[in-house]
Amino acid sequence: MIVTVTLNPSLDRTIELDHLVPGEVQRVTAARLDPGGKGVNVARALLANGVDALAVVPIAGVDGDQLVGLLRHEGVAVAVVDVAGHTRSNIAIAEADGTVTKLNEPGAPLSAADLEGIAGKVLEAASPGSWVVLCGSLPPDVPVDTYASLARRFSAAGLRVAVDTSGPAFQAAVATGPELVKPNAEELAEAVGHPLLSRSDVVAAARELQALGARTVLVSLGAEGALLVDDGVVAGESPVAEPRSTVGAGDAFLAGFLAGEHAGASRREAFAEALAWGAAAVCLPGSRMPGPGDIDRSVVHLLPEPSPALLTPITEGES
């Protein structure tokens, strides 16, 4: 089983329209409500593809109840820790050209007892050698070393730790030596403290993270593809002709890699799976996760070595 931890889950409402004009009343072409948060999305994608997964989430108030209801409606196994406050809501405005504007609430604060409850749920469900994935932003007033503390505890229990977060929380977690980290280009640049202008810059930055403690670095570059940096380097791309929503695409990408690893695939094969899942998510509305019928592995191209070409600006929906 793969266990995901989302400390700041959300209800994600996606509104689609032709073109956003600030200050005007506009007609919406479509709308949907999905359970959200990075770890939640990873679990959703895994379960949609028949991979055994559990989402561990703190929930608060009626919005938290609605979140759990949506997850259970999708067949997602959930371990709940009840907390004070209210579960946040996020709004994504998706335009016809693929531009996505996100409005994210801060979320419910967590106490030391809440965090202990979350850790307990993970240790109860996970067995040595299985993956635990620490994902997403931290709620207000939660210490920046929280993911680092959880990573150390789970590693000591024999679990394989993956981390997908950003800012100081990411930097603190890297130092604990997680088996896998998955930054996007902006998060990676922030972690190393300098801009990344080419794929060779991305590789060098990933090597910096390895020097700090990370064993494998999986970097998502949006429309520019992705890089896998472990003992070697593999670059890949999975072009999407008509992107619909980037929200959750990075989460599907990570889920694809973990699914490959879970099935015993090679790192290269797992990386190709990640690219296929990420591309499939971009073709779907809102933060819907791809199932087997959505995934087209023929769009994936693995490259013998990273191109030195300049990177274009990258936008990846955050949770």
Buried b (16+ CB within 10 A) or exposed e, 251-286: bbbbbbbbbbbbeeeebeebbbbbbbbbbbbbbbeb
Whether residue 312 lies inside any domain: the answer is no
What kind and span of H or E run contains 133? Answer: strand 131-135
Count of domains for the chain: 1
Nearest Cα to Cα of residue 225 among 292, 159, 274: 274
SS3 call for 223: helix
Whether residue 298 lies inside any domain: the answer is no
What span, in angstroms and rounded, lies between the C-alpha atoms of 19 and 183?
A: 29
Whether residue 288 lies inside any domain: the answer is no
Average pLDDT, the chain: 92
SS3 call for 235: strand
Whether residue 184 lies inside any domain: the answer is yes
Whether residue 222 lies inside any domain: the answer is no
Kindly give, in sequence order, each residue whose CB lies less than 8 Å from that of residue 172, ignoring residues fewer than 6 positions away.
144, 145, 147, 148
Q: Print the domain residue range for 33.
A: 2-216
Which CATH number do you get for residue 40? 3.40.1190.20
Whether residue 228 lies inside any domain: the answer is no
- Tell me whether residue 241 is exposed, middle or buried, using C-beta atoms within 10 angstroms of its C-beta: 0 to 12, 13 to 18, 19 or more: exposed
Whether residue 274 lies inside any domain: the answer is no
Query: With contact defined as beta carbons under 8 Å apart, do 194 and 208 qualify?
Result: no
pLDDT, tens only, 134-176: 999 999 999 999 999 999 999 999 999 999 999 999 999 999 9
Residue % of the chain over a pLDDT of 70: 95
34 is catalytic: no
pLDDT, tens only, 32-55: 899 999 999 999 999 999 999 999
Whether residue 122 lies inside any domain: the answer is yes
Q: Please identify which of the residues 12, 34, 63, 251 carries the catalytic annotation.
A: 251
What is the reported pTM?
A: 0.90
